[in-house]
Amino acid sequence: MTWRYHYPQRPFPYAELVHHGRGPAEPEYELVDTGVFAEDRYWAVTVDYAKADPTDLCVRITVENRGPEAATLHVLPTLWFRNTWAWGLPGQDAMPRISADGGGTLVAEHAELGGLVLTGEPGGVPVLCDNETNTERLWGTPGRSRYPKDGINDHVVRGAPTVNPERTGTKAALWYRLDVPAGATSVLRVRLSAGSTVPGDMALGGAFDEVMTARKVEADAYYAALTPAPTTDDEALVLRRALAGMLWGKQFFHYDVARWLDGDPAGPPPPASRRDGRNAGWRHLNNADVVSMPDPWDYPWYAAWDLAFHYVPLAYVDPRFAKDQLVLLLREWYSHPGGQLPAYEWAFGDVNPPVHAWAALRVFAIDGRRDVDFLARVFHKLLINFTWWVNRKDSQDDNVFEGGFLGLDNIGPIDRSAALPVAGVLEQSDGTAWMAMYCLNLLEIALVLARHDPAYEDVATKFFEHFALIATAAYDKGLWNDDDGFFYDVLSTADGRRLPMRVRSMVGLLPLCATTTLGTETLQRLPRFAERYRWFVANRPEARAVVGQTHVRDGAEGRLLSISGPPSWSGSSPRCSTRRSSCPRTGCGRSPVATPPSRSCSRWAGRGPRSTTSPPSRRPVCSAATPTGAARCGSPSTS
């Protein structure tokens, strides 16, 4: 794995990024706009990681001065223990210890992990403190250590006497001061290994370089086997960096909601309001696992539907991890007893789109369609989640669904994360489409499982018919607009009115995702399911448009199950194909069909136009990957 960071040589412009003076109608103020990278005055820091064995990690730090003048950089490879001993939990108060051996080596001892040794090149000065909160600085009260965790920083930056002169602690670093000429490069080697024996002279010598070379050759061969032909070198590099970025996103995540609500035994009691505040209904949740993160630096938390999309590319490089992650999210210490999946750490009760059955199917297929036990395992848990959706997000009991935010920012004229501006219910085109797609995904899983257990035929029938009811309701309840050829959200008010939110956005395109086919071979193999299918099509004429279409491909007949059948295709396709169709120049209030995405307005119950969406943001690309792994990039030139 390879990690890259572009570090400016000027002071980082924190204040300027916050107080830049640009308004909401102007482009987002980016780091490059501050001039901090002017004249290429920055460091390109590349860190390569390679294992000699599972408990022996070689680390090479390459520092390149991209600027026009010589400059100095302080590099501090750091070893520390996560502080669990200060929580006051029974049997968890044993403190680990790190000490310097007098040279460029740090020796650590932990009650559970055993010994660890961090060896660095000559010239590194050991600096040690304790991984303890600086209570004196924060609250003016004495702390557990004279040398708290910001001691190394204060010592290096200000020369403060804040590191332990006895060179012991629970946080330690080897301090290197690198003076690098313009355009030149400096290299440091560091090695972290298990055991209590300090490695010999060869730890950072020829054997170290051999490990680096061997792992690079293996990584090249591994990614070459994953790259489809024909692929250009640039395309192969994009693929490799993308997959490396997914692997880099693995991170340990620990959140015990009950203890967060109640506070640590050794800590001050939390405010009483916490017990009724954020995540108070998720006391059961206790996560302590390695989880795929959107980004371990900027976004070090999981989001339920992000995870579903993570599983698919991860299945190409680590199918076992992808399957384990899917199972993990559905386990009892993650999912709510009522069946809801946890959304994200600041609001587990938010609702994310139900895409995990789709992810399970994709992972199953990528892994060779062999692990039927995995598919059955997730299927039973997804049944509980599906039931939660039906019971909680179809408030009118009419097969049209709400859901609220559903992961889509600025998607309509109403803030879907907040209460409605009038009494009523927002029946959502995307919520309904997601549930139709959920039915089809569970139908496909049931059909696969029925190959091995006929009992699943009945479950397949249930999801086939439930899909037909949802897809039909999308038309019967007015989500589809014949005049506009588009699906819209509908505001169902308490006084009986139904007001379509005629703003063209992704909510009207998501019904296209609720599509699958039934082949003749499937119907022949599952006679009970086939019998019920034929009865349903024959006796429910209102559903034929969404489950009764047939097609022939390669000489085989298939039946199309789609919320958006041929009639809506012909209506929506021309209207969705151009930017003008969704962004008319007439502006807000002049077009009853669509409004510009930067200003969407509506009127309800005598209220005036209300604009709730904001200009599209230009988010900086904050991470990329290098040929052998993932990278963190601070420079726009490599993002």
| Per-residue confidence (pLDDT) for residue 556, from 0 to 100 | 79
- Please give the Cα distance from 21 to 33 (Å, whole number): 12
- Please give the Cα distance from 597 to 599 (Å, whole number): 6
Amino acid at 321: F
Find the helix or strand (DSSP H, E) in which 574 lies: helix 566-576
Q: Which of 573, 613, 586 is nearest to 597 (CA)?
A: 613
| Per-residue confidence (pLDDT) for residue 201, from 0 to 100 | 58
Q: Cβ–Cβ contacts within 10 Å for residue 537, how many?
A: 15
**Number of residues assigned to the chain:** 639
- Please give the Cα distance from 442 to 374 (Å, whole number): 14
Q: What is the pTM of this model?
A: 0.86
- Please give the Cα distance from 312 to 568 (Å, whole number): 30
Q: Cβ–Cβ contacts within 10 Å for residue 118, how many?
A: 25
| Per-residue confidence (pLDDT) for residue 604, from 0 to 100 | 44
| Per-residue confidence (pLDDT) for residue 629, from 0 to 100 | 37
Is-contact 402 428, C-beta < 8 A? Answer: yes
**Within the chain, which residues score under 70 in pLDDT?**
198-202, 565-639
Q: Which of 333, 381, 340, 390 is nearest to 360 (CA)?
A: 381
Find the helix or strand (DSSP H, E) in which 446 lies: helix 429-450
Find the helix or strand (DSSP H, E) in which 48 lies: strand 42-53
- Please give the Cα distance from 171 to 148 (Å, whole number): 9
| Per-residue confidence (pLDDT) for residue 192, from 0 to 100 | 96
| Per-residue confidence (pLDDT) for residue 554, from 0 to 100 | 79
Give rounded-to-5 percent helix, strand, coil for the chain. 35, 20, 45
Residue whose pair of structure tokens reads 């996103």 in the numeric block: 249
Q: What is the pLDDT of residues 364-410, one digit of tens each?
A: 999 999 999 999 999 999 999 999 999 999 999 999 999 888 888 77
Residue 561 token pair:
């199950």
Q: Which of 364, 365, 444, 433 is nearest to 399 (CA)?
A: 433
Q: What is the pLDDT of residues 391-403, one digit of tens each?
A: 999 999 999 999 8
| Per-residue confidence (pLDDT) for residue 566, from 0 to 100 | 58
% of the chain exceeding 90 in pLDDT: 74
Characterize 260-282 residue by residue with b for buried, 16 or more Cβ atoms within 10 angstroms of its Cβ, and e for exposed: bbeeeeeeeeeeeeeeeebbeeb
Sign of the torsion formed by the C-alpha atoms of 601, 602, 606 and 610: negative
Beta-strand runs (E) in 77-151: 78-80, 97-100, 105-110, 114-120, 125-129
| Per-residue confidence (pLDDT) for residue 620, from 0 to 100 | 31
Contacts of 132 (CB under 8 A, 6+ apart): 83, 86, 143, 144, 145, 148, 149, 170
Is-contact 135 143, C-beta < 8 A? Answer: yes
Contacts of 532 (CB under 8 A, 6+ apart): 461, 464, 465
| Phi and psi torsions of 389, nearest 5° | -60, -50
Please list the residues that pair with 603 across neighbouring strands. none
- Please give the Cα distance from 293 to 245 (Å, whole number): 10
- Please give the Cα distance from 465 to 38 (Å, whole number): 62
Question: In 48-188, where does DSSP find H-type helix?
Answer: 135-139, 151-158
